[in-house]
Structure 1
Amino acid sequence: MSNLLSIGKTGLLAAQTGIATTGHNITNASVAGYSRQGIVQGTLPPVNQGVGYIGTGTEVAQIKRYYDNFLNTQLMNAQANQGSVDAYLGQISQIDNMLSDSTIGLSPALQDFFKGVQTANSTPSLQAARESMLSSSQTLTARFHEVSGRLQELQEGVNNSVTTTVNSINAYSTQIADLNKKIAAATMDPLNPPNDLLDQRDQLIRELNQQVKVTVLPSDNNMLNVSIGSGQPLVVGVTNMELATMASPTDPNRTIVGYQTTSGRVSTLPDETFSGGALGGFMAFRSETLDKVQNQIGQVAAGLATAFNDQHKLGQDLNGDMGGNYFNPIKAYVGYDNRNSATSTTDVQATITDASALKGVDYNVVFDGTDFQMTRADGTGGAIAIPPGVDTEIDGVTYNFGGTATQGDRFQIRPTYTAAADIGVGVTDFKKIALAAPIATSVPTSNKGSGTISAGTVDATYLEPGNALTAPLTIGFHQTDPLDKNTRSVDGFAAGAVVRVTLAGGASTDYNPGDTIPYAEGATYSSNGMSFTMNGQPKDGDTFTVGPNTSGVGDGRNGVLLAGLQTKNILNGGSATFQGNYASTVNYVGNKTREMMVGSDAAETTVNQARASQQSVSGVNLDEEAANLLRYQQAYQAAGKVMQIAGQLFDTLLQIR
């Protein structure tokens, strides 16, 4: 009878365990990360009683946790991608909204600015027209400042988001390491691990994975090791690594991430380490879009200021003086690495001097002990050596590395990074606006032929010492044989000047001092930075005058050239206008935003599908659990009946005498 009673008891205990496990599933059905559990029953060893082996009952061999590592990894990968895309989308949407807003965008301000230049050029003698040009210039620079300020706010927002995310990552890694310790202590039998603790740890890892993509590997005693990037450890057994944020060594306004060392310093990690998750999204947005937009908006600002200044210097103001810088010169951002030698006194001067050569990219510089080696941050091109103390122009920026450097010193050069914030109008007096050309030409009424001469223009060579006119030049026409055009010539150019003759078809020839300079109808003559075109049929002895512009109050020839910069391809090696380059930036942001929106929708669908697959194995189905509850209830009742019958049989035996 005792054997029958024992069999009933084992069945009763197994059914009781099944009921408890099912109840545990039901009450935790809505707990995030909970995995369904079930009992695995086994048969107890039978006893040989001569007539055969008689069973001795059942036992609960295992409380099984329904979990599929492959499906869980799929879900984690999908969630990491979703976290990255959503973080990226949340940031880039702000830039897209800003650039598409006509009240903030630069395009209307650029149009108004050049409209002001055209108005001043059409009436150069009017004070009101010139003051209106100054006003539109101030409006344009204010718009650049506004856009730059908004982008800087986004930079600060990314910094705050990175810091907050790193704090969350540290909190998760600490909890995961603590759970590793608890799980290892509770793992007495590898076949019977602490399932609820495993669920808690897996849920924390999934939440951590949404912050930064992680790789999980098994360790001893059911512990897990967690790493990021290309294998950088975050949790190793019961130990977690602390991440920390700090200002970039070359840019105090940029937050970077690294390991917190025991000495309190931060060992920096590359931004590429943090791929996936919200942190990866913030890093990707900053490097792919925010930096690019800041550089490209700055390229428009720096290109406009430099090109406008170059042309303005070739004009003449109302005082009769040559024009100066209309906009304040733009200097490149120079980041001195705070890890450089304390004895270094390097002073880097970097001024934007050529608008068309600007690349809108960043540069890294390291001193090799002899020269400063410069490379583009995007990896294009090779290293360029810059000797100390020598003016060197690279990609539109003129550099001079002064002072004393130590081998290994590093610098970051960002030519257009702060240009939109730095641009400003340098002219405050309307009389200083150089709308007139510095030279004027004329044809004496005493000439006998039909020869004409254009108004004349100047280029940057005119500004070199000794080239500017201080007195008029008389260009004389000569023809020794009235019937032979080959005997026609001109003279009277500045002493010692090389004269370039460019024919109407484009071919050009240089003539040295003392050479006979032929006359060709429609040819352009250039010397000492001055150019003019001669046409018609002069007579022998006719002259033409080229001299300083002494009455340029109503002259707007340089103003025409200034206004023409609006439609001139200047940026990107002479392939884009200012507004065209800005439109390209707006287009890039719009396309990237649309890409992220589509990616966000796709990521959400992928996560839902992966979660459904994972939950099909690990999720709690209340209908199924209700059925299990009834099944175990019936099993419990049946086992109880077995014990009842065993008791009755025992009582019957006691009554036999």
Structure 2
Amino acid sequence: MGDMLGNALSALVANQRALATTSHNIANADTEGYSRQKVDFATRIPQQLGGITLGSGVSISSVSRVYDNFTAGQLRSAQAAYSAVETSYQMAAQLDNGLADPDLGLGAALSRFYNSVQDVADDPSSITSRQLLLAEAQGLGDRFADMSAQLDALSREVNVRISTSVSDINDLATQIADINRLITTADGASGNTANDLLDQRDQALLSLNELIGVTSVEQKDGSVSVFVGNGEALVLGDSTVKMSAISNAFEPDRLEIAMTTGSRQAIVSDSISGGSLGGSLDFRDGVLNETRNELGRISLAVASSMNSQNRAGVDLRGDQGGDIFSVPDPVAYRSSNNVSAAQLSVEISDLSQVTGDNILMRFDGSNWSFFNEATGAAVTGVSGSGSVADPFQLNGMEFSLDSAAATGDQFVLRPTEGASAGIKVILTDPAGIAAAAATRSISSGSNIGTAKISETDVVDSSDPNLLDDVDIEFLTATTYQINGSGSFTYTSGEELSINGNSVVITGTPVAGDHFLIGANTNAVGDNRNALKLAGTESSKLLNNGATSVLDAVNGLVGDIAVATRSAQINLQSQENLLSQTQARQENYSGVNLDEEAANLLKFQQAYQAAAQATSIANELFQTLIGAFR
């Protein structure tokens, strides 16, 4: 009887605990991050009676989570990747919508501007056309400024995301460390696994991966260590390493991520990936920076080419043209950690060679090293010593230091970053538009040869002798002199460059033939320079003469559209992957109410059977006692 009663009582206790576990599952069926728990039964140590072994009933060996480490790891990775792509797509879509708008986008503004230039070429004496050109120039400048402001707004949004994410990451890290402490305490006290605490920690790790991609390593005491970036510790047991958002050493308005341990602070922005924070940094350091630099390069090409060409003509008053736009200088930043007071100045010497890449330069005490700021790759081909008399020269830029640098000094060159915000219209008088060419050429009426001279082409508007009269007199059919001096060999079709003007003489001259070059006076109806102003849209001004302004704008709009579309496709892909991984984990670890209902009925019946066995054992025992009365 005793054996029967003991077996029955053990079954009662075991099934009671199984019922409690099942009810716990049912209660948490909708709890986010909850993993179904199951009771593991084990037979008790049997009794040995003579040559007979009798069972001693049942016990609960453990209450464990239905959990798969591999699936949980996949879910965290998928969550980090999805959050990163989602953030990148959201911000890229904002940029794409603003830049590619058919009515308000950059392409539309440029098209209206160059159309107004063509209108002046069609009627160079029209004040109305000239006023419209200045209005469209102002509109174009405003559009560049608006686009720059939009990029600045996205930069500020990234800063807000960084600050918010860092705060949330620190909170989650503290939460994980606290749960680690509770888990190690519970495991040490009872030797059993704290299932609900493990679920809470897994959910915190999943939330952490929404913000930043992390790796976690479980320790022997049941705690987990959490690492970010290239292995920087965030959580170690029940302690955390503080993450902070600090100002960039070169730009105070640009935030970076740092890890602080004691007095040591390490910047880890470049190594962070995954999560919404990684997506924000990737967008800022990739698409946003590239767009800002290319937009600045386009604005410089437009303004510089229009200024240069306007100076090559004469306006309605007969004066040589001036600048239409102000052109800002390239931006150079010194590190706040620099020891010396040296400042860096930069000028663009050849816009066609300017790539828009940002250059980091570092001094080791003896030599300067140059790197691509975005990729970290070493940059070669830099000439010059960096002094004012012998500036560094690279990619169409000249840059120099005003004083000696100290070991460890660093500077960053951003040649086109701020250009789009700095382009302003400075010409206010519509008569100042130089539609006419500055010079003209004529053939003497007394010429008897068949030679002809082309119209002048101003190739150097800064030449001080540009408007001086030039007399080309042929000495023979094959030689000529200029202003009565020299003797030069004539070749039909050969370009002649004189005082900043270029002309071509073709045909067969005879001795005594004269060709004249001089100022283009009374040229109200001349549109030669206006045509060249309009032609700057398609002139190959960039990428060493391979790309026009129109090409660059189309390329920029296309690149952003491709980046946005790519991010959208990646988002859909990552969303599907995340959904599949969530479903796989839910199928494995989630609570199935139908299954729990079946378990509830099973354990209830087992409990009732055990109770019945207990009752029968008691009746038998009472019968046995009664037999001895």
TM-score, length-scaled by structure 1: 0.90
Aligned to 1:483: none
1:439 maps to amino acid: T
Question: What does residue 482 of structure 1 align with?
Answer: none
Shift of 1:28: 0.7
Name 2:325's counterpart in structure 1. Answer: 327
Q: How far did 1:317 drift?
A: 3.2
Partner amino acid, structure 1, of 2:56: T
The one-letter code sitting in structure 2 at the alignment partner of 1:388 is: S
Question: Residue by residue, what CA displacement relative to the aligned partner does 1:601-623 show, whole Å, maximum 9, x if unpaired?
Answer: 11121112212222232111111
Alpha-carbon distance in 1 for matches of 2:518, 2:366: 49
How many angstroms apart in 1 are the aligned matches of 2:520 and 2:368?
Answer: 46
* 2:552 alignment counterpart: 581
Q: Distance in 2 between matches of 1:407 and 1:48?
A: 84
Which residue of structure 2 aligns with residue 489 of structure 1? 479
Tell me how far apart the structure 2 counterparts of residues 210 and 309 of structure 1 sit (CA, whole Å): 50
Q: Call closer, same or farther: CA 1:383–1:637 in 2, change over 3 Å.
A: farther
Contact 1:316–1:437 (CA<8 Å) still a contact in 2? yes
Question: Which whole-Å CA distance do the structure 2 matches of 1:427 and 1:367 have between them?
Answer: 42
Query: Take 2:472 and 2:296, find their aligned partners in 1: how far apart are those partners?
Result: 46
Moved more, 569-578 or 365-374: 365-374
Partner of 1:143: 143
Partner of 1:158: 158
Task: Confirm or deny: 8 A CA contact 2:473 2:484 kept in the other structure.
Answer: no
- Give 1:292's aligned amino acid: E
Alignment match, 1:79: 79
Q: CA–CA distance in 2 between the matches of 1:371 and 1:313?
A: 41
Q: Tell me how far 1:464 sits from its aligned partner.
A: 4.1
Superposed, 1:9-408 pairs within 5 Å as 9-188=9-188, 192-262=192-262, 266-271=265-270, 273-341=271-339, 344-369=340-365, 372-377=368-373, 378=375, 379=377, 381-382=379-380, 384=382, 386-389=385-388, 390-408=390-408
Give SS of 1:252's match. Answer: coil
Comparing 57-66 with 371-380, greater Cα deviation is found at 371-380
The letter of the residue matching 2:55 is G
Contact 2:124–2:527 (8 Å) recurs in 1: yes
Specify whether residues 366 and 319 from structure 1 end up closer, same or farther in structure 2 by C-alpha distance, changes over 3 A only. farther
Aligned to 1:649: 620
User: Match for 1:566: what amino acid?
Assistant: E
Give distance in 2, aligned partners of 1:312 and 1:355: 17
Counterpart secondary structure, 1:339: coil
**CA displacement at 1:583 relative to structure 2:** 1.0
Residue 474 in 1 paired to residue 471 in 2? yes
Q: Per-residue deviation at 1:494?
A: 8.0
**Counterpart contact for 1:370–1:387, Cα < 8 Å:** no
Q: CA deviation at 1:206?
A: 1.1
**Structure 2 counterpart of 1:648, one-letter code:** E
1:463 equivalent to 2:466? Answer no
Give, as a single letter, the amino acid of the residue that structure 2 aligns with 1:476.
E
Moved over 6 A (4+): none
CA 1:394–1:315 in 2, change beyond 3 Å: closer, same or farther?
farther
Deviation per CA, 1:215-246, whole angstroms, max 9, x where unpaired?
11111321111111221111100011111112
- Coordinate RMSD, CA, aligned: 2.1
The whole-number CA distance in structure 1 between the counterparts of 2:107 and 2:378 is 30
CA distance in 1, matches of 2:348, 2:530: 23
- Aligned equivalents of 2:219, 2:193: Cα separation in 1: 14
SS of aligned partner of 1:84: helix
Deviations 1:64-112 (A, max 9, x none): 2111111111111111111111111111111121122123211121122
Tell me how far apart the structure 2 counterparts of residues 425 and 393 of structure 1 sit (CA, whole Å).
29
Q: State the TM-score, normalizing by the size of structure 2.
A: 0.94
Q: Indicate the SS of the match to 1:40.
A: strand
Larger mean Cα displacement after TM superposition, 541-550 or 70-79:
541-550
Matched residue, 1:610: 581
Whether contact under 8 Å (1:302, 1:352) holds in the other structure is no
| One-letter amino acid of the structure 1 residue matched with residue 184 of structure 2 | A
The residue number in structure 2 matching 1:521 is 492
Aligned-residue offset at 1:55: 1.9
- Show structure 2 runs of 5+ residues with no match: none
Deviations 1:382-408 (A, max 9, x none): 262542223444222232321342222
Distance 1:394 1:45 in 2: 84
Q: Contact 2:327/2:419 (CA < 8 Å) preserved in 1?
A: no
Counterpart in the other structure of 2:561: 590
Find the residue that maps to 1:217 and give its secondary structure.
strand
Deviation at residue 262 of structure 1 after TM alignment: 4.1
Mapped to 1, the partners of 2:309 and 2:370 lie a distance apart of: 30
CA distance in 2, matches of 1:213, 1:540: 84
Structure 1 unaligned residues grouped into runs of 5+: 480-486, 496-513
Q: Distance in 2 between matches of 1:468 and 1:383?
A: 36
1:248, 1:255 within 8 Å by CA — same for their partners in 2? yes
Q: Which residue of 2 aligns with 1:424?
A: 424
Distance (Å, rounded) in 1 between the aligned partners of 2:71 and 2:507: 87
- 2:542 matched residue in structure 1: 571
* Alpha-carbon distance between aligned partners in 2 of 1:40 and 1:348, rounded to the nearest angstrom: 72
Query: What amino acid maps onto 2:200 in structure 1?
Result: Q
In 2, the alpha carbon distance for the partners of 1:371 and 1:233 equals 35
Q: Say whether the 8 Å CA contact 2:382–2:393 is kept in structure 1.
A: no
Distance 2:274 2:96 in 1: 22
Kept in 1: contact 2:470–2:517 (CA 8 A): yes
Are residues 1:413 and 2:403 paired? no
Which residue does 2:527 correspond to in 1?
556
Aligned equivalents of 1:567, 1:188: Cα separation in 2: 76
Deviates more, 1:108-117 or 1:218-227: 108-117
Q: CA deviation at 1:538?
A: 3.2
Whether the aligned pair in 1 keeps the contact of 2:122 and 2:527 (CA below 8 Å) is: yes
Confirm or deny: 8 A CA contact 1:569 1:575 kept in the other structure.
yes
Per the alignment, residue 503 of structure 1 pairs with none
**Identical counterparts, % of pairs:** 35
Equivalents in 1 of 2:302, 2:396: separation in Å?
13
Secondary structure of the 2:125 match is: coil
Q: Does 1:629 align with 2:600?
A: yes
TM-superposed deviation, 1:268:
1.5
- 8 Å contact kept, 1:9–1:643: yes
Aligned positions, number: 624
Compared with structure 1, are the counterparts of its residues 488 and 53 closer, same or farther at alpha carbon in structure 2 (3 Å cutoff)?
Answer: closer
Residue 509 of structure 1 corresponds to none
Q: Is the 8 A contact 1:22 1:628 kept in 2?
A: yes
- Aligned-partner SS, 2:216: strand
Q: For each residue in 1:487-545, what CA deviation from the matched residue of structure 2 results, as whole angstroms up to 9, or x when unmatched?
A: 532112586xxxxxxxxxxxxxxxxxx4x423333332223432212234433212122
What SS does structure 1 have at the residue aligned with 2:192? coil
Question: How many Å separate the matches in 1 of 2:145 and 2:242?
Answer: 38
Question: Is the 2:386–2:399 Cα contact (8 Å) retained in structure 1?
Answer: no
